[in-house]
Structure 1
Amino acid sequence: MRQYKRAIAFVLILAAVIAIIPKNDSERKVEAAPAATPTPTVATSPSSTPAGTPVSTIYPETGTIETAAPTMVPTAAPTATVTPAMEVTPVPTPVITPAPATEEIRGVWIAFYEYKKAGLKNKSEAVFRKNADKLFKKIKDNGCNAVFFHVRAFDDAIWPSENFKFSSYMGKKTPNYDPLAILVESAHKYGLKFHAWMNPYRITQKKIYDPAKKSTTSRIMLAVREVIDNYPVDGIHFDDYFYPGSGHKQYKKYASLSNKQKKANVNKMVQTVYGNIKVQNPNLLFGISPAGNVEYCESLGADVKTWMKGPGYVDYIAPQIYWSNSYRVGKKTVRMFDNRFAKWKRLNKGNIPMYIGLALYRGGMKDASDRGWRKSKKIIASQISKIRRSEKAYGYILFSYESLYKKACRYEVKNMLARIARIKVTKVNTDGTTRLKTTVWPARLGQTVTWKSSNPSIASITNKGRIRVKQNGIVKFTVKKAGKSVSVKINTEDL
């Protein structure tokens, strides 16, 4: 009995001790403060990031992206236990030697202000798809094989995003479909490469993110990753906007920085973007289109000489050489296009593929400094010929899409198409009749051609390519279109 009483006493004491011990953290009933919905507006300062947005820290030396936990909005609820951010295994930045260009790039830029004329602003999904198809068919018909489409002009997006506001140039609000997905799909349907064109630093026409801040590079990479992780684009493309030039509202803010400091800050960003793209997909291209004046580039922080020395920065470079060969400097006429083109080739020590930006928009333009655009109608055609003869240049990009159909540019376009034109001839036998079938490229030239027989007494030919044999013999048929001609010899005994 005494042992029984002792046991009861022990149990009672143990229960009392347990009652005063606090419960484990995992058993507490605590509500976590909900994450804020990202604000779909441009950040008010270069370092600000919308609440709830995962902030990526990017290390240029390694290309590693470490994403911190989203900022939590405090509420009246008790503080929740915070889960530590997941560790990221450092990934060394890959240095990939750009592959030799295997085909000529014939590109065109489509800028943010061209969405409306292209029928892409504030449209239903059905109309958007239809107009996207029309847009890319027209581009293909002009002989192009690549588009450089503005997807991020002012720290915004033309795709549904929780981190960036939807582009007001595409619509008033994010639509219930994904414009970028449709655009990439449509471009590929017409055999066009789709390069996502972004302005890295620009927030508005008067404000940029500070290139020296890590948070700026993090925000740029956030946009790049959203695109390359979710869309089958063929590349990421930056233009010539880096530090502001002398006419910009924020010029004085950065005026104390030397060109060396500016270039160092921009180079860190460029290396980070390049490295992260190559980790994601080594086949994705990353390129930059700087201004055509090298000294001006350097004043903005665009270190084009370093970018072209070797791998690790860009896969290609597309300098905007927007001059004719009749540029006036004082009383002298300077062959500005030739001079600038030659300089870029000399500086390209690493043989980085060059796609030359051409100023189609200046066709027919009256310019006191650059009179060539008014005097000649074959400037673009001539420049394309020079690019094709160069060992370091592998194509061109036209600025911009609207100029292909602008009245003032019509003769430049016509002569450009004639310069790149090709005619293919195939022999077709149908119901005992022989016909020479032609295919003219680019399609915008039209398919109407002119045929001529070298000896009509042996055989004649209609403009539809139908051969009419009169006697045995050898005859040469020549087809002409847009200044191009192709000849075919036929032995009438074989027909």
Structure 2
Amino acid sequence: MMMFANKLTVKFYGWRRMLALILAFTIALISAAIFSPRISAQNPPITPRKTELRGVWLTNIDSDVIFSRQNIADAVNRLDRLNFNTVYPTVWQGGYTLYPSAVAKRVFGKPIDPAPGLQNRDILKEIIAESHPKGIAVIPWFEFGFMAPADSELARLHPDWLAKRRDGSTIWKEGTHDRVWLNPFDAEVQQFILDLIVEIVDNYDLDGIQFDDHFGLPVEFGYEPTTVSMYEKAIKSPPSNDARETFWIRWRADRINDFMGRIYRTIKSRKPKCIISVSPNPLHFALPAHLQDWFTWERREYIEELIVQVYRSDIKRFNAELEREEVILAKEHIPTAIGILTGLKNNSISLKQIQEQMQEVRKRNFAGVSFFFYESLSNWAKETPEQRDSALRTFFPAKIQRPSV
């Protein structure tokens, strides 16, 4: 009887140990479900980036970077150390080319910007020569688009090329500067712009070419006699008191769309691997204010890289621009990045703001960022240049390829 009791005791304790193990395993599973990080469709696991656009614009305004070969070398070496992979140097600015141009000489007698530091040089060749061995892409920036200074040789020699308001005026204020706009509907203007583009594409070992928010026309312009005649044949007389009338905006924007298609076909017929990039304002401003319908360009596959300028200091407004439907749709189709303002001569941008905006861009899985502009990466800031460079190394801790097109 004692032996039987011992057997029962062993059997009981065996079952009790098994129940304890089962209970412990169940508790572990419940704990894991409660306390472990949850993976959902909204929060997918973060995978290492294989590509990222890390760009910066190089200008000739408030910047010395392009005015000597040594400055270019120093800048590119710095960008290489900071793991950038793309530069966008301006090549059409202030009514002049910043490279020796046979087209510009033929049309208005000046082959290059007369600034002393640019004479007897070709800055575009120099930038390419410094950048390509380091794996940095060079995409020339056609900065002024259809805009020109009112007192430029181009404007003075070709007054018939200028866009006009209903009252015949041509001056457009950009801050304190008097500007004019070339008429994008004029056949001679289109040919001039196309000739400049072809000259750049044909003569340089570039990776692409970029157009920005000036590749359009302020909405109050477009009342030149030839433009009005074209519109009358297509629809009716343009409105005399409402330059923002729907059909009038749509027709003019569509003519610029058609020209962008012509540019795309011309570039691709000469250099198929040349990337066509655009850095516009957000569409809800670009189209109604400047007749620039870049979303149609993207839908029709006229552009292959998009960098939306989101120069907002308020983070809620910044994020709202990133989440607009046309931006999301573009991001699903082509490499789409965000232009971030790093400062201006009279407007310092804090590292905190830049870092916060970069985090929001990365959180939404954009193709990358481009900073406006090189000089403000370190100058005019409250932080020291060393602190700014240290932060940039934190942003870009290792080299990475730019997105392929």
Which range, TM-score by smaller chain?
0.5 to 0.7
Q: Deviations over 1:49-102 (max 9, x none)?
A: xxxxxxxxxxxxxxxxxxxxxxxxxxxxxxxxxxxxxxxxxxxxxxxxxxxx96
> Match for residue 354 of structure 1?
336
Q: Deviations over 1:368-419 (max 9, x none)?
A: xxxxx5xx6412112222222324x211110001101213263793574254
Alignment CA distance shift 1:171-1:272 (3 Å): farther
Distance 1:110 1:230 in 2: 20
Q: Any idea what SS the aligned residue of 1:103 has?
A: coil
Name the structure where strand makes up a greater proportion of residues.
1
Are 1:325 and 2:314 matched, yes or no?
Answer: yes
Q: Any idea what SS the aligned residue of 1:410 has?
A: coil
> Match for residue 163 of structure 1?
103
Q: CA deviation at 1:148?
A: 0.4
Letter in 2 for 1:271: G
Letter in 2 for 1:238: F
> Match for residue 118 of structure 1?
65
> Match for residue 7 of structure 2?
none
Are 1:341 and 2:322 matched, yes or no?
Answer: yes
Q: Check conservation: 2:96, 2:112, Cα contact below 8 A.
A: yes
Q: Check conservation: 1:244, 1:300, Cα contact below 8 A.
A: yes
> Match for residue 141 of structure 1?
81
Q: CA deviation at 1:169?
A: 6.0
State which structure, 1 or 2, has the greater radius of gyration over its C-alpha atoms. 1
Structure number with the bigger relative contact order (C-alpha 8 A, sep ≥ 6) is 2
Q: Check conservation: 2:217, 2:290, Cα contact below 8 A.
A: yes
Distance 1:146 1:291 in 2: 20
Q: CA deviation at 1:161?
A: 2.1
Q: Check conservation: 2:279, 2:307, Cα contact below 8 A.
A: yes
Q: Any idea what SS the aligned residue of 2:303 has?
A: coil
Q: CA deviation at 1:139?
A: 2.4
Q: CA deviation at 1:131?
A: 2.5
Letter in 2 for 1:140: D
Distance 1:110 1:170 in 2: 16
Distance 1:180 1:304 in 2: 27
> Match for residue 389 of structure 1?
363
Q: Which runs of 5+ in 1 are unaligned?
A: 1-100, 121-127, 327-334, 367-372, 424-440, 443-495
Distance 2:341 2:114 in 1: 23
Q: CA deviation at 1:292?
A: 2.8
**Identical-pair percentage:** 22
Q: CA deviation at 1:365?
A: 4.2
Alignment CA distance shift 1:189-1:207 (3 Å): same
Are 1:273 and 2:253 matched, yes or no?
Answer: no
Q: Check conservation: 2:311, 2:339, Cα contact below 8 A.
A: yes
Q: CA deviation at 1:320?
A: 0.3
257, 273, 282: which is aligned to 1:292?
A: 282
Are 1:422 and 2:391 matched, yes or no?
Answer: no
Q: Deviations over 1:150-188 (max 9, x none)?
A: 01114422222222124436438x733433222221222
Superposition RMSD in Å: 3.2
Q: Check conservation: 1:240, 1:290, Cα contact below 8 A.
A: yes
Q: CA deviation at 1:252?
A: 7.8
Distance 1:260 1:134 in 2: 46
Name the structure where helix makes up a greater proportion of residues.
2
Alignment of 1:425-440 (within 5 A): none
Q: Any idea what SS the aligned residue of 2:308 has?
A: coil
* TM-score, normalisation: structure 2: 0.65
Distance 1:404 1:394 in 2: 20
Alignment of 1:472-491 (within 5 A): none
231, 248, 252: which is aligned to 1:262?
A: 252
> Match for residue 314 of structure 1?
303
Distance 2:321 2:309 in 1: 10
Q: Check conservation: 1:358, 1:399, Cα contact below 8 A.
A: yes
Alignment CA distance shift 1:178-1:394 (3 Å): same
Q: Check conservation: 1:152, 1:158, Cα contact below 8 A.
A: yes
Distance 1:365 1:415 in 2: 21
> Match for residue 224 of structure 1?
197
Runs of 4+ in structure 1 deviating by more than 4 angstroms, as ranges, are 250-255, 362-366
> Match for residue 413 of structure 1?
388
Alignment of 1:444-463 (within 5 A): none
> Match for residue 215 of structure 2?
242
* TM-score, normalisation: structure 1: 0.54
Q: Check conservation: 1:305, 1:347, Cα contact below 8 A.
A: no
Distance 1:237 1:215 in 2: 22
Letter in 2 for 1:208: W
